[in-house]
Structure 1
Amino acid sequence: MTQDDGGTEHLTVRRHGATLILTLNRPEARNALSLAMLVGLHDGWLAADADDSVRSVVLTGAGGCFCSGMDLKSLAGDGMTGEEHRARLKADPDLHWKAMLRHHRPRKPVIAAVEGPCVAGGTEILQGTDIRVAAESAVFGLFEVRRGLFPIGGSTVRLPRQIPRTHALEMLLTGRPYTAAEAASIGLVGHVVPDGTALDAALAIAERINACGPLAVEAVKASVYETAGMTETEGLAAELARGRPVFDTADAKEGARAFAEKRPPVYRRA
């Protein structure tokens, strides 16, 4: 069952079971990032982390488009709706970076469901997600250098850590578009599916995650990211510190008990 659960005029929030779906909802502008969209994203990430009944998040776009990047005109104030959004950015000048997952990492797994254009700021947000599904006609790319700009959403740091450096540099320095098949071949996305099915495929992955122990899932995600810059020795020590407490939880005991009793486990985040 899917139900509406808030958002802004450019960002819809819906619940689908234990999954929170955040939808970039400005199709008339190819879901270009507006202040209303960024405020909605920021609040959506925080809402997902604060609600223990949410076990995963899916990020997608409306109208057959993921995101065409930053709407500089809107962010400058022309066409920006809602004084409350302007006040939010003034109160927290870092809000847009948190919304774009540059300065915030949700503790719940985030799955991207990409249809159509996912370029410039769209590809930058994508790098903050954990698992990525793309429709066959999806297009990716960091076009900033073609406009004399810098991809300041984190791409010069993150992209070479997520795909081979030669591919990262080509994407960053040429500003050319990449097909979904190319994005998959270099490891930028993990799945390519028929057009119109990216959200369904992402929700299927989310359902598998939701069936697992939430404390274990969150600890595994945290361990992967926090050990990324460590030496192997440091990382293994940090992994033990993060992983050992999971074995002492009631959920761990429930998982073993359910396996022995040949039934689905009932996890209670305890």
Structure 2
Amino acid sequence: MSDKVLYQKKGAVAYITLNRPEVKNAIDLDVHHRLREIWTDFRDDPELRVAILTGTGDSFCAGADLRTHVPEWDGVGPSLGRDKLLDGFAGGLTRGLHRIYKPVIAACNGWVLGGGLELAMACDIRIASERAQFGSFELRRGMHPADGGIVRLVNTCGVGIALEMELTGEPINAQRALAANMISKVVAHDELMAAADDLVSRILRNDRRAVESAKETIFEVVGRTLDEQLKVECLYGYALCGGNPELVKRSREFLEKSDRGRAGVNATPL
């Protein structure tokens, strides 16, 4: 079972690779439970700051392995929804462990389908190979997303693309996903992991507390009224300013033009 998900730690970065290429990296119950262990470890390891999630072969993830999940659901009845509230898909990143404030990057290397789309949308930033395809095929099987797929499609891409993808069950390619704001970048297939590492390096140059507070603030403002959003941003932002000793040090580096990754005529390396 351990070979179904590869988990490596390199400095401050966790690399999580779904490794069932023979079934397009579909997630069975073993993988689901292993991912819960991995996300919990990532959350709790003080040395880790960012995770990159990807898949082997020609797929990121094809969603739930129906050979193990359908028997689990068969005949249970409507109470299944209530029973699953605290146990989201793919180890809980979609729901349950979704408030991990360390950034998670999805490197979408190929097919991103069904629960795999829900998993990718639960990540914070998505970049894609030019070969990637994104689809929500659940309606073909007599169900629809229940682990954040509809919610995050609507919040990130809008009602139009969510209705099209859900009601037709047809995939979209990487360029269409980019135009729909589903992903941040499309790169050549062989450059995907290098692009993910470059993205991570840009996150790591920033102060850790500021990064995690910004993610938490974004999560907190979703769905609130404007006045509530402004209040949350003020409280979180100024709490960080007043309680982060890195602020003075990093501000001094900025004024002295010695900060990492400075753009312009005084460029310094990441």
Please indicate the TM-score interval, normalised by the length of the shorter structure: 0.7 to 0.9
Residue 254 in 1 paired to residue 249 in 2?
yes
In 1, the alpha carbon distance for the partners of 2:129 and 2:47 equals 29
Indicate the residue corresponding to 1:103 in structure 2. Answer: 96
Give RMSD over aligned pairs.
2.1
Say which of 113, 116, 124 aligns to 2:110: 116
Q: 1:196 to 1:102 in 2, by over 3 A?
A: farther
Which letter maps to 2:230?
Answer: L
Indicate the residue corresponding to 1:157 in structure 2. Answer: 151
Indicate the residue corresponding to 1:21 in structure 2. Answer: 15
In 1, the alpha carbon distance for the partners of 2:153 and 2:5 equals 26
TM-score (norm 1): 0.85
Which sections of structure 2, spanning at least 5 residues, go unmatched?
Answer: 73-83, 261-270
Q: How far did residue 232 of structure 1 move? A: 1.0
Q: Which runs of 4+ in 1 moved over 6 A?
A: none
Which letter maps to 1:254?
Answer: K
Which letter maps to 2:114?
Answer: A
User: Percent of pairs identical after alignment?
Assistant: 34
In 2, the alpha carbon distance for the partners of 1:209 and 1:18 equals 11
Indicate the residue corresponding to 2:59 in structure 1. Answer: 65
Say which of 151, 165, 175 aligns to 2:169: 175
User: Are 2:25 and 2:59, in contact at CA under 8 Å, matched by a contact in 1?
Assistant: yes
Which letter maps to 1:118?
Answer: V
**Counterpart secondary structure, 2:209:** helix
Which letter maps to 1:99?
Answer: G
Indicate the residue corresponding to 2:142 in structure 1. Answer: 148
**Cα deviation digits, residues 127-153 of structure 1 (max 9, x gap):** 111100000011110001122222112
In 1, the alpha carbon distance for the partners of 2:4 and 2:93 equals 14
Which sections of structure 1, spanning at least 5 residues, go unmatched?
Answer: 1-6, 79-91, 266-270
In 2, the alpha carbon distance for the partners of 1:260 and 1:161 equals 38
Say which of 195, 208, 216 aligns to 2:202: 208
Indicate the residue corresponding to 1:89 in structure 2. Answer: none
Residue 47 in 1 paired to residue 41 in 2?
yes
In 1, the alpha carbon distance for the partners of 2:183 and 2:36 equals 23
Select between 96-105 and 43-52 the one with higher mean Cα deviation: 96-105
In 1, the alpha carbon distance for the partners of 2:203 and 2:255 equals 21
Indicate the residue corresponding to 2:5 in structure 1. Answer: 11
TM-score (norm 2): 0.85
Q: How far did residue 19 of structure 1 move? A: 1.2
Which letter maps to 1:70?
Answer: A
Residue 263 in 1 paired to residue 265 in 2?
no
Indicate the residue corresponding to 2:79 in structure 1. Answer: none
| Matched positions, count | 246
Which letter maps to 2:146?
Answer: I
Say which of 198, 211, 219 aligns to 2:192: 198
Q: How far did residue 96 of structure 1 move? A: 4.6
Say which of 104, 118, 123 aligns to 1:129: 123
